[in-house]
C-alpha cells in the first residue's frame, strides 16, 4: 500500500489563495447584481427620522421628516425646492445625495451599513412619498450565499471532468 501523494505547501497555498480570490470576486459581482436589481416599493409612510433635504436660509440642510413641519413653522426651513439639479450634504453620520428629474426629487441616504433611496414630489409645500428602496446588510448576506452557490457549481463541474 502506497501513501497518497501530498502536494507541496506552496501548491496548496496557491490553490487556496486562488479559490479565495475567486470567492471575493464572486461576492462583489453578486452584490453588484443584487443592488442594481433591488426592487422599489411604491408609496408608503415616511420614516420620521429620514432626513429631508431643504433650504435653510442660504444653504442646503437636512431635517428629519418628523421635525419638518416644526422647522417650517419656526422659520428654520425657507424652502423645499432645492437649488440645482443635484448635490450632496451630510446629516449626522449619514451621507445625503439628491437629484431632481421629471418633477421628482430622489434622495439617497447612506452610511456604511445601509442605503435608503426615496423618490418624492413637493405638493402644498410638503413632500409626498412616491416610492422608496431600502438596501441593508441582507444584500451582502445574499451575495455571500450566491457566491458560495456559484463556487460549489464551479468545483463540482471540475470534479466531473
CA distances from 44 to 62, 69, 109, 135 (A): 21, 19, 17, 16
Q: What are the tens digits of pLDDT across the range 89-114?
A: 988 889 999 999 888 999 999 988 88
Q: Is the pLDDT of residue 9 over 90?
A: no
Structure confidence at residue 105 (pLDDT): 92
Q: Residue 145: name the closest of 57, 23, 21, 32 by CA.
A: 23
Q: Residue 33: name the closest of 149, 151, 146 by CA.
A: 146
Highest mean pLDDT among 32-46, 112-126, 143-157: 143-157
Q: Is the pLDDT of residue 1 over 70?
A: no
Q: What are the tens digits of pLDDT across the range 111-147?
A: 888 889 999 999 888 899 999 998 988 999 999 999 9
Q: Region 23-42: what's the mean pLDDT? A: 93
Report DSSP letters for 40-66, one per residue. PEES-PPPTTPEEEEEETTEEEEEEGG
Q: Is the pLDDT of residue 152 over 80?
A: yes
C-alpha 148/C-alpha 14 separation (Å) is 19
- CA Rg value for the chain: 24
Structure confidence at residue 48 (pLDDT): 87
In sequence order, the 6+-apart residues with CB closer than 8 A to the CB of 52 are: 62, 63, 64, 65, 68, 80, 107, 127
Structure confidence at residue 7 (pLDDT): 67
| 15 — pLDDT class (breaks 50, 70, 90) | confident
In sequence order, the 6+-apart residues with CB closer than 8 A to the CB of 22 are: 151, 154
Q: Is the pLDDT of residue 150 over 90?
A: yes
Q: Long-range CB contacts (< 8 A, 24+ apart) of 154-158?
A: 154/22
Structure confidence at residue 30 (pLDDT): 96
Q: Is the pLDDT of residue 13 over 90?
A: no
Grid-cell match 446588510, residue found: 137
Amino acid at each position: 500500500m502506497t501513501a497518497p501523494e501530498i502536494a507541496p505547501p506552496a501548491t496548496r497555498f496557491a490553490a487556496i489563495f486562488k479559490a479565495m480570490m475567486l470567492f471575493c470576486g464572486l461576492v462583489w459581482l453578486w452584490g453588484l447584481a443584487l443592488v442594481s436589481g433591488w426592487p422599489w416599493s411604491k408609496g408608503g409612510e415616511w420614516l420620521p427620522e429620514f432626513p429631508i433635504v431643504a433650504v435653510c436660509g442660504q444653504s442646503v440642510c437636512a431635517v428629519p421628516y418628523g421635525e419638518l413641519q416644526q422647522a417650517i413653522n419656526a422659520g428654520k426651513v425657507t424652502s423645499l425646492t432645492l437649488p440645482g439639479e443635484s448635490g450632496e450634504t451630510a446629516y449626522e453620520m449619514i451621507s445625503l445625495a439628491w437629484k431632481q428629474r421629471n418633477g421628482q426629487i430622489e434622495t439617497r441616504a447612506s452610511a456604511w451599513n445601509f442605503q435608503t433611496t426615496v423618490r418624492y414630489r413637493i405638493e402644498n409645500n410638503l413632500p409626498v412619498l412616491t416610492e422608496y428602496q431600502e438596501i441593508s446588510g441582507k444584500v451582502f448576506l445574499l451575495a455571500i450565499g450566491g457566491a458560495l452557490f456559484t463556487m460549489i457549481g464551479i468545483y463540482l463541474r471540475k470534479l466531473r471532468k
